[in-house]
Structure 1
């Protein structure tokens, strides 16, 4: 009996111990589970491809669709005294109104007024020194110096005398006033402004081809500026020259009811010069060429070659403009030398290595050697500025 109780007690203790161990193990597992929970892998769901939704084209609303839209909220009106920020339409209107008011108080000069002012200045300058030099204290050239220069140049390039036969307009070159028609001579000389003889001839021949002949004035006026500009484009400065030619034709027809200036054959040299200078685009050089070659008057025209060479030999002040040089030399050179000296100076200026544009003195030019000793301080002499051909000068043949 005692033995069974002992065995039973031992067995109970064993069971109790086993139960205790099991509880401890379960508790430990539970603790581990709480501290380190297992991560459940999330299943990845396949992504659906993005469907491209076509964009709707915005079409302009019809007048009916626009009427069905709810009315827009009206903008808040500003009082006239309220200030608007810079750049708003109201500010722009205010600035425009202020500019208009300012223009009324100080009006701009119109092209007509500017042309009239230029015409007045040209005529005033010519009238002031029509028969006198603007440099009365400048002694050169003397009549003896003119004869010497004429003799030297004639020996090199041949004598140039005024023809005694009737003048005939050349058909294969533009010339410079070489026409018995004063208006034709004027137009030819305008074509020769600030360009070479070759280019002016190309422009003249092109006019003949387009209009039949260059003196078809009615056809030239009727064709308009663009047609004339295209016709003389090959000669250079066609924009300016076409405008000048058409303006002269219109003024001549308005004054006399026809396209002719032949009445100047019977006018005095001063009257003829004054009338030609009254046209826009005609300066002293252009008018003087028409006077010298067409009207066969004694006038000394000054182009770029004459202006340059007379400066090199000391016949004008160093700072004399081309117009001032014309007035000075026309008063100083004897009439019998004007025609020949003009042609000889132009021809010499084109071929002489020392006297042409950009030429350098080498001591070989007979003309420069003859006048080197007579140069005085303050004269043009060696300090004259070399002028290149083709430069449009403000004081000559302005638009």
Structure 2
């Protein structure tokens, strides 16, 4: 999704889109984020928004009540604490409502081109399946990948594994027969494949 955004390096749009993207399809998030930004394209505008006006725009996304509240509150904090700018540190970003490590790392990578590893369900699953890590949580996966991957690959690993996870390395019955890296995969947790 982030690689397809029209203004993919706008920190505000990356932040808000990524908050909205949790447990949502990229295609839906992209369409609804663009509609949201037609009306609220700055932190200042979104900070003044009423939740009842934001909900109809993002209602097709799951958890729209919580997400609408979080993005408005985040915008208010951006205006009050950062002069409308999106912070560029993990610590500051994770203080914002609706922003965990994955969202913060996405902002760092896609908006600021900083070295970070956003770990979503695909990155976590595939890193374990390949045998790169033996972790239980995305945060453990992030920390372990930081130790074993050269920094020059940190920014690219999310895109690569998310694409691989959506097209080949499915959670259940992955397409191992089509996988270009199958010979390097330990297939950890794979019970059945195609």
Instruction: Report if TM-score (shorter chain) is over 0.5.
Output: yes
Computed over aligned residues only, the root mean square deviation of the Cα atoms, in angstroms, reads 2.5
CA 1:361–1:218 in structure 2 vs 1: closer, same or farther (change >3 Å)?
A: closer
**Counterpart in the other structure of 1:343:** 159
Task: Work out which of the residue numbers 235, 250, 256 in structure 1 matches 2:76.
Answer: 250
Q: Are 1:170 and 2:6 counterparts? A: yes
CA 1:254–1:339 in structure 2 vs 1: closer, same or farther (change >3 Å)?
A: closer
Q: Are 1:369 and 2:183 counterparts? A: yes
CA 1:358–1:255 in structure 2 vs 1: closer, same or farther (change >3 Å)?
A: same
Q: Are 1:199 and 2:28 counterparts? A: yes
**Counterpart in the other structure of 1:238:** 64
Contact 1:284–1:326 (8 Å) recurs in 2 = no
CA 1:230–1:289 in structure 2 vs 1: closer, same or farther (change >3 Å)?
A: same
**Counterpart in the other structure of 2:172:** 358
Task: Work out which of the residue numbers 72, 85, 106 in structure 2 matches 1:289.
Answer: 106
Q: Are 1:383 and 2:193 counterparts? A: no
Contact 2:55–2:68 (8 Å) recurs in 1 = yes
Contact 2:116–2:154 (8 Å) recurs in 1 = yes
- The structure whose Rg is larger is 1
Task: Work out which of the residue numbers 139, 150, 154 in structure 2 matches 1:334.
Answer: 150
- Report the Cα distance in structure 2 between the residues aligned to 1:219 and 1:200, rounded to whole angstroms: 20
TM superposition shift of 1:323:
1.6
TM superposition shift of 1:206:
2.2
- Report the Cα distance in structure 1 between the residues aligned to 2:36 and 2:122, rounded to whole angstroms: 27
* TM-score after normalising by structure 1: 0.43
TM superposition shift of 1:384:
6.7
Contact 1:299–1:339 (8 Å) recurs in 2 = yes
Q: For structure 1, list consecutive stretches of 5 or more residues without a partner in the other structure.
A: 1-167, 172-177, 265-271, 373-380, 386-399
Residue-by-residue CA offset, 1:65-120 (whole Å, 9 max, x unaligned):
xxxxxxxxxxxxxxxxxxxxxxxxxxxxxxxxxxxxxxxxxxxxxxxxxxxxxxxx
**Counterpart in the other structure of 2:141:** 325
**Counterpart in the other structure of 2:43:** 217
What aligned pairs does 1:1-399 form with structure 2 within 5 A after superposition?
Answer: 170=6, 178-180=8-10, 182-209=11-38, 211=39, 214-256=40-82, 258-261=83-86, 264=88, 272-317=89-134, 319-352=135-168, 355-360=169-174, 362-372=176-186, 381-383=187-189
Q: For structure 2, list consecutive stretches of 5 or more residues without a partner in the other structure.
A: none
- Report the Cα distance in structure 1 between the residues aligned to 2:133 and 2:20, rounded to whole angstroms: 28
Residue-by-residue CA offset, 1:305-345 (whole Å, 9 max, x unaligned):
1111111111121x520121112112321011222332211
CA 1:364–1:200 in structure 2 vs 1: closer, same or farther (change >3 Å)?
A: closer
CA 1:251–1:309 in structure 2 vs 1: closer, same or farther (change >3 Å)?
A: same
